[in-house]
Amino acid sequence: MKYILKILVISFAVLGSCTRPDDKKEDKSKETDKEEPKKQERVTNIKIEDPKSEYKTGDEIRFQFQYPDTIKLDSIRMDINNNQAKVFYKNKEELSTKNLPVGNNNFRFIVFLENREKEVLHKRLEFKSDIKPSLSQCEIIETYPHDPKAYTQGLFYEDGYLYEGTGQKGESSLRKIDLEKGEIISSRNLPSQYFGEGITSYQDKIIQLTWTSRVGFIYDKNEFKLLKKVRYPTEGWGITSDGDKLFMSDGSSKIYLLDPQDFSEIGRMEIYDHEGAVDNLNELEYIDGKIYANVWQQDYIISFEPDNGKVLEKIDCSQLVPEQYKNHNDYVLNGIAYDVEKDRLLLTGKRWPKIYHVEFVE
């Protein structure tokens, strides 16, 4: 019995020497004693001298940077819309905005102070256009028949034929049309779950958008054979091309610049006139360096500069609206096509019985 007790005592002693609870307490205390690094307080600030309630492109803006007298400035780098604009070495800088796009512009200032880490300041400013759009109206030159069942979403003219994209689920299609006769030469229906939207040509292909599905279809232009599907991160409304890139609308004032090969976004702009943003941009058509756009549920179209988003023209097309569709919320003006060879502009609307060859008269 004594022998057994002796073995137990030795065992407990060995176990106790292995655990060393005091060591654990010591390690824990070392962890809690570590000091967290102190946050560096910002010492610079930015303001605009003589600020305005609203700005337009071309305005001169004077930025002023404030910091304590005890700190010396090294330099300031200004980036505009993620592009480096300039570097300066004083606490004031005057900026001409004549080359900025309309809409929201993001300014980032990286301030380098002697003996301190750099500090980053941000400013966002909205610019209206410094151009008042010219006003015109449509003069009808000729009319052509149009399928009154066609819910027109996209239109373009090429190689002697009119191409039309129609909408509504279960009715959406792509069509090749003889303009003078109004006859459908060939067509392809979209699967019933898709709501067709704008169309455009690019090289030997046709691109067709869908509304909320965020899926586009690319076809062989001659046979309407589906080549591939593409995706985009917004709604699809109107689309056009300048031969190099695509311009796509989503029903807002934004225009997305896309790579035709993979539909990746390569740029973005906002469309503004002298009064502000122009929303509900729909069908688009690139013509002679300008982009013309339907404004959803409006009886006018606009043109804008594809480099900076400034609205150049506003064209009244109210006289084209069929009598039965005046003040209609759905069967509205929509569809712009341009025949390059004959220099004629074609307009129509959703379920309209006619297509109009028009000219613009100031």
CB 63 within 8 Å of CB 105: no
Backbone angle region of 308, left / alpha / beta, with phi > 0 → left and psi within -120 to 50 → alpha? alpha
> Which residues, in sequence order, are bridge partners of residue 83?
80
In this prediction, residue 39 carries a pLDDT of 56
> Which residues, in sequence order, are bridge partners of residue 268?
256
Task: Please name the residue that has the structure tokens 């407990």.
Answer: 12
Q: Taking the model in full, what pTM does it have?
A: 0.84
CB 85 within 8 Å of CB 108: no
In this prediction, residue 362 carries a pLDDT of 85
Q: Mind listing the pLDDT tens digit for each residue in 149-198? A: 999 999 999 999 999 999 999 999 999 999 999 999 999 999 999 999 99
Three-state DSSP class for 315? strand
In this prediction, residue 44 carries a pLDDT of 87
In this prediction, residue 42 carries a pLDDT of 75
In this prediction, residue 36 carries a pLDDT of 60
What single-letter amino acid sits at 290? K
In this prediction, residue 40 carries a pLDDT of 59
Give 203's contacts (C-beta < 8 A, 6+ positions apart).
260
Running DSSP on this structure, what letter comes out for residue 323? G
Backbone angles phi, psi at 267, to 5 degrees: 175, 175
Find the angle CA(262)-CA(263)-CA(268) to the nearest 5 degrees: 140
In this prediction, residue 356 carries a pLDDT of 98
Running DSSP on this structure, what letter comes out for residue 89? -
DSSP track, 21-72: HHHHHHHHHHHHTPPPPPPPPP--EEEESS--SSEETT-EEEEEEE--TTS-
Q: Mind listing the pLDDT tens digit for each residue in 289-322? A: 999 999 999 999 999 999 999 999 999 999 999 9
Three-state DSSP class for 320? helix
For the sheet with 73-80, list strands across it.
55-56, 119-128, 103-113, 73-80, 83-88
HSE-up of residue 35 (Cα within 13 Å, Cβ side): 3
Pairing of strands 103-113, 119-128: antiparallel
End-to-end Cα, the chain, rounded Å: 120
d(CA 107, CA 100): 11
In this prediction, residue 194 carries a pLDDT of 97
Q: Which residues of the chain have pLDDT under 70?
A: 1-40
SS3 of 93-123: the string is EEEECCCCCCEEEEEEEEEEECCCCCEEEEE
